[in-house]
Amino acid sequence: MRSNKLFSALLVSAGVAVTLAVPGTANAAALEDCTGSTNHQDLSAGYNSLNSGAAIRSGPKVACSVRGTGPSAVALHCWAVNEANHVWWFVNISGKATKGWVYEPNMYYTVARYESNRCKV
């Protein structure tokens, strides 16, 4: 398994310092659980819509069971990178109790990912 590739690069351009965070696969093994017991938090990452037929799964991988499908408006809780190096979001369907994981390309709108709304696993 790959080790965490999260690193910071200090850029100095025109006297401005910027720190860049690059997502890696830290704790990816902990995300491979399809039981829904993966630690997730509501980090209030915003809202999005799912593409038609997009699956909401019990865990962040295709092999996990489907709990619901799009199109639906969803609240974004947090994101994570699984062992296959794919980005998944923990969501819940707006106005319903259905919660689960959605593969990022299945979201209608482009999503901004920040370390502050990354799932703490």
Domains of the chain: residue spans and CATH: 27-117 (2.30.30.40)
Q: Is the pTM above the cut of 0.85?
A: no
Tell me which residue of 86, 84, 121, 120 sits closest to 106, measured CA to CA.
86
pLDDT in tens, 33-71: 776 555 567 778 789 999 999 999 998 999 999 998 988
pLDDT of residue 45: 74
pLDDT at 23: 41
Q: How many other C-beta atoms lie within 10 A of the C-beta of residue 44? A: 12
